[in-house]
Amino acid sequence: MSSPSRRRVPLDTPERLAEVQTAALDAVSEVGYERFNMDLVAQRAHVSKGSLYQRWPSKAHLLVAALNANRVEVEAPDTGSYLGDVRELCKLWLRVEVLGDRRGLILALLEGSRRDPELARLMTEQLSRGGANPMTVVLAAASARGELPPGVDLELLAEVPMALALNFLLFRDMPLTEELVDRIVDGLLAPLLGRRDHSQ
C-alpha cells in the first residue's frame, strides 16, 4: 500500500502521471476496454477518481493520453536495400517496450474502437498528428532505387509485414519475435519480389 503522503502528490508531477498512465495501460490490457474504468485506475494508482476526471473527462481520453505518453518514434533505417530496411524496421518496432501485455492491449484497443466512437475518434486524431510512417519512407527509398516491380501496390505492401505479425499475435497467440520477422522477409517478401535486393 502507498503511504498517505504519496497520495497527496499532485497528478501534474511527471512521476505521478507516469504511475497513473502505467496503471491505465496495465488495467486495460488485463480486463479489456469494456470492463476498463476510472475506478479500476484509481484503485491501482492510489488516487481519487475525482482527480482523474479533473484531468481526463473520460476513460477514452485517459487511455489515449497514456498511449501517447509511452509512444516511441522509430525512424526509418537505411541499410541500402528494401529487404534490409524492412527487416531492421520491424525488429526496431519489436524492441520498443510496451507497457502491459502487448496482445491484451491491442485486443482492448480494437474492442474499444469498435464499441466507443469517442475512443475511435481520439485515436484517429492522435495518429494523424504523427510524422511520416517509416514504412512509407522505406518504400519510397526502395522505389527510387528501382527495387520494386512495376505496378506493385505500395499501400498494401506497406501493411503486409505488420498485418502478418499481428495475425500471428492476435489469432494464434504466438509472440512477436525476430525469427518471425526473418520468416516474413525471407520466406515471403523476398520471393514475391524476385529477391530484388539492392545489396545483392
Predicted confidence pLDDT, tens digits, the chain (200 residues) = 444 444 445 677 888 999 999 999 999 999 999 999 999 999 999 999 999 999 999 999 999 999 988 887 889 999 999 999 999 999 998 887 666 678 899 999 999 999 999 999 999 988 777 667 899 999 999 999 999 988 889 999 999 998 998 898 888 888 888 999 999 999 999 998 886 444 44
- Asked if residues 49 and 38 have their Cβ atoms less than 8 Å apart, the reply is yes
Any idea of the CA torsion for 114, 122, 7, 35, to the nearest 10 degrees?
-10
- Asked if residues 66 and 25 have their Cβ atoms less than 8 Å apart, the reply is yes
CATH says 4-68 is which class? mainly alpha
Determine the pLDDT at residue 194.
Answer: 81
CATH 1.10.10.60 in the chain: give the residue spans: 4-68
pTM greater than 0.85: no
Cell numbers that stand for 116 in this block: 466507443
Taking the C-alpha atoms of residue 102 and residue 110, their distance in angstroms, rounded to an integer, is 12
CATH 1.10.357.10 in the chain: give the residue spans: 73-192
Determine the pLDDT at residue 3.
Answer: 44
Determine the pLDDT at residue 197.
Answer: 45
Q: What is the homologous superfamily of the domain 73-192 according to CATH?
A: Tetracycline Repressor, domain 2 (1.10.357.10)
